[in-house]
């Protein structure tokens, strides 16, 4: 068997193989064995006739199977040796129009190569870093959330008017103003006076009593972030109050701190809240910094990625969108028709998203290769123990389940990516940290989410 590889400029390579007559005959032998049970030979049960009789009967009729066996055996032998490294098995075309078993045959296949990445000088990349400095107002907001969680609800007497701060249980129905109210009534709870309530809505409930039913129209503000789909629209409502409660809030003091989590006093609880806010928000900001780092690396790096892989990743991003929102999947063509966009435009959009994901992934793999970053057996074992504990499973049973579900490679891959991310974060030049209030950090992260 002779072969040669020609590297192309589009992350593909052309593989040409010439097989001798002897090598082809080995393929025919395997094809005869594969098909022997299908041959009826007088005097023999199916599959029991001598192989030489089988060969005479089948002759060249198994040529296609013989070629496939020959090619499969060749790929098993050549795959680890090919340069450039294949990302997938090649698809072959037979060069000989009419196969002559006495001369062998040639086959040409094109395969996607492993993506090529030229790393930028990532250790010279400069990024901003941040740290959170919660204000007294931030701490107070968290204390009020705790205060509300410890509230005591006292049932109001019949005949008492509803007031700001009351929690009500209700049956209700609603619809756009131009439609008829539905027959079915919904049930729910609503607290009068909450900041997030639609401005002006509560006035329709004040002075109602338990058992009262009230119908009214309500127009939402032109801007209403809590429910943007309702902004500026008018709805009909019919609400029946089935129960109401006075919400008695505990004082924000040492007793509340003790009741909440056993803190010795309010000062200790405040310190815990501050530590929790700082830890959680700093982790979010670190992820934000990672995004900045990899965006600069992608911009400065060079990539050669197979077109087929980009198309597949674009489709994967598209399908993941439906899984994320628990929606029934549809084809990209159907989706394009629904949003009124050309299919080519939709495909391009998702392929660009897929390309970004691939660039980030293969950047990490390249860094792991160059920096010799690996996941040790001890690190993997520790990761699996943590995961098993989080699932509340026995370690050995959890490990067997992950093996059965074929999830071990993905877990190892994710752990490698974590190690690479930590290495990169420590390697780049970091400016700062800049001190941010909680409000400033939320604005920064919100801008990032909108950009994504």
For the stretch 325-334, pLDDT in tens is 888 889 999 9
Give residue-wise pLDDT tens across range 18-30. Answer: 999 999 999 999 9
- Residue 243: left (phi > 0), alpha (psi -120 to 50), or beta? beta
Q: Return d(Cα 27, Cα 20) in angstroms, integer.
A: 11
pLDDT at 449 over 60: no
* Nearest of 385, 359, 390, 375 to residue 422 by alpha carbon: 375
Judge whether residue 450 has pLDDT over 70: no
What's the whole-number mean pLDDT along residues 342-357? 95
What's the pLDDT tens digit per position in 86-97? 988 898 988 777
Q: Encode pLDDT of 282-303 as tens digits.
A: 889 988 888 889 999 999 999 9
The residues, any chain, with a CB within 8 Å of residue 401's CB and separated by 6 or more, are 393
CA angle 434, 440, 441 (to 5 degrees): 75
Q: Give the start-to-end residue ranges of the domains of the chain.
A: 2-113, 152-248, 264-451
- The answer to whether the beta carbons of residues 411 and 401 sit under 8 Å apart is no
- Specify the pLDDT at position 442: 87
Q: Is the pLDDT of residue 104 over 90?
A: yes
What pLDDT is stored for residue 227 in this prediction? Answer: 87
Output b/e per residue, 179-199; b: 16+ Cβ within 10 A.
eeeeeeeeeeebbbeeeeeee
The tens digit of pLDDT for each residue in 188-247 reads: 999 999 988 999 999 999 989 999 999 999 999 999 988 888 999 999 999 999 999 999
- How far is the C-alpha of 24 from the C-alpha of 103, rounded, in Å? 9
pLDDT at res. 324: 85
pLDDT tens across 151-200, in order?
Answer: 999 999 888 899 999 999 999 999 999 999 999 999 999 999 998 899 99
Instruction: Provide the pairing of β-strand 126-132 with 429-436.
Output: parallel
Could you read off the pLDDT of 26-58 as tens digits, one per residue? 999 999 999 988 888 888 887 788 888 889 999
Domain 152-248 has CATH 3.10.50.30: yes
Query: H or E element: which one contains 376?
Result: none
Mean residue pLDDT of the chain comes to: 92
Q: What is the DSSP letter of 435?
A: E
CA-to-CA dists, residue 102 to 17, 24, 32, 70, 385, angstroms: 17, 9, 17, 15, 60
Looking at domain 2-113, its CATH architecture is 2-Layer Sandwich (3.30)
| pLDDT for the residue numbered 91 | 87
> How far apart are the C-alpha atoms of 205 and 166, rounded to whole Å?
10
Q: How many CA atoms lie within 13 A of 92 on its CB side?
A: 21
Global pTM value: 0.69
Per residue in 415-438, pLDDT tens?
Answer: 999 999 999 999 999 888 888 888
Classify domain 264-451 by CATH architecture.
Orthogonal Bundle (1.10)
């Amino acid at each position: 068997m002779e072969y040669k590889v020609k590297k192309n400029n589009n992350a593909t390579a052309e593989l040409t193989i010439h097989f001798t007559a002897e090598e082809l005959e080995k393929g025919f032998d395997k094809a005869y064995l594969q098909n022997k049970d299908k041959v009826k030979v007088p005097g023999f049960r199916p599959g029991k006739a001598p192989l030489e009789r089988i060969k005479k009967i089948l002759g060249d009729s198994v040529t296609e199977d013989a070629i496939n066996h020959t090619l499969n055996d060749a790929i098993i032998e050549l795959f680890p040796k090919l340069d450039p490294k294949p990302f997938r098995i090649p698809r072959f075309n037979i060069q000989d129009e009419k196969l002559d078993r006495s001369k062998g045959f040639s086959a040409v296949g094109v395969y996607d190569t492993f993506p090529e990445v030229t790393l930028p000088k990532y250790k010279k990349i400069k990024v901003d870093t941040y740290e959170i400095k919660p204000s007294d107002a931030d701490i107070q907001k968290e204390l009020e959330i705790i205060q509300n969680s410890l509230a005591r609800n006292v049932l109001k007497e019949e005949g008492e008017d509803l007031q700001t701060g009351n929690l009500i249980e209700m049956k209700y129905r609603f619809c756009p103003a131009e439609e008829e109210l539905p027959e079915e009534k919904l049930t729910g709870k609503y607290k009068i006076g909450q900041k997030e309530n639609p401005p002006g809505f509560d006035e329709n409930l004040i002075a109602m009593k338990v058992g009262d039913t009230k119908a009214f129209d309500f127009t939402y503000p032109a801007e209403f972030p809590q429910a943007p789909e309702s902004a500026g629209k008018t709805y009909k409502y019919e609400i029946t109050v089935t129960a109401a409660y006075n919400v008695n809030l505990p004082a924000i003091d040492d007793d509340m701190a003790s009741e909440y989590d056993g803190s010795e006093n309010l000062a200790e609880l405040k310190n815990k809240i501050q530590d929790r806010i700082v830890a959680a928000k700093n982790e979010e900001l670190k992820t934000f910094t990672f995004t900045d780092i990899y965006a600069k690396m992608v911009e400065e790096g060079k990539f050669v990625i197979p077109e087929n892989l980009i198309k597949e990743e674009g489709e994967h991003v598209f399908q993941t969108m439906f899984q994320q929102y628990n929606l029934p999947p549809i084809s990209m063509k159907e989706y394009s028709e629904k949003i009124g966009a050309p299919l080519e435009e939709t495909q391009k959009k998702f392929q660009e998203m897929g390309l970004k994901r691939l660039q980030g992934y293969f950047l990490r793999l390249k860094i792991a290769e160059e920096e010799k970053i690996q996941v040790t057996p001890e690190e993997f074992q520790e990761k699996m123990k943590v995961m098993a504990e989080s699932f509340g499973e026995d370690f050995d049973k959890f490990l067997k389940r992950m093996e059965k579900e074929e999830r071990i490679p993905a877990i190892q891959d994710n752990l490698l990516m974590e190690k690479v991310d930590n290495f990169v974060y420590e390697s780049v030049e970091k400016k700062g940290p800049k001190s941010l209030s909680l409000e400033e950090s939320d604005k920064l992260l919100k801008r990032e989410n909108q950009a994504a």
